[in-house]
Amino acid sequence: MSRKNNRAVGRIVFVGIFVFVVVAAVYLVTRPIPTVLLPSYLDRCIPLTGSYAYDSRPQLSIVINGLDQTIPANIGIVGTCVRPIFTLSTSGVIHVKTDVNRTYTLGDFFLVWGNTYTPDFSVFNKDQIFNYKKDVNHNLTMTVDYFAGRVSENRFQDYPFPIDANTTSNPYQITITYG
């Protein structure tokens, strides 16, 4: 082969690789990211002032295989939009503030969490939390400590947030344990 042919082949290979890299980059940048679709009562921005029909601040703790899990800050906050269920810090306090009078559940919180971060965080039911599934070696329990005492709870994702929970006069501590 002559030098001229080698250069031509080299250019063709270079152009082919360049086109492949550009197409791959465009695909990676524009591909849809899996997300959790929210029902309309959660897929809205709440007014930040005014009176609320629902104002609750229960505390959530999640323990997986003996390790406390951090509940992230800013769940339910996207840009300037604050969903009816959100977190402000990593303290585990869930804020439920909305002008809509309806029952909000622990499952609603996990949907918002999955919508804010990744779909893995939206999974919570009697058999599973995130990617952790009950089996012969692992159990999933939920307890609620509140003003009147501690109860074992079996409603899991259907557990309704109390309308007036707060950290002082009506404390609610929800603990989910997997292990």
pLDDT of 90 reads: 97
Contact, 55 vs 97, CB < 8 A?
Answer: yes
Does the predicted TM-score (pTM) go above 0.75?
yes
State whether residue 18 is helix, strand or coil. helix
Encode 108-143 in three state secondary structure: HHHHHHHHHCCHHHHCEECCEECCEECECCECEEEE
Per-residue pLDDT of the chain (179 residues; tens, 9 = 90+): 566 677 777 778 777 787 777 766 666 555 555 589 999 999 999 988 888 888 899 999 999 999 999 999 999 999 999 999 999 999 999 999 998 889 999 999 999 999 999 999 999 999 999 999 999 999 999 999 987 788 889 999 999 998 888 877 788 999 999 99
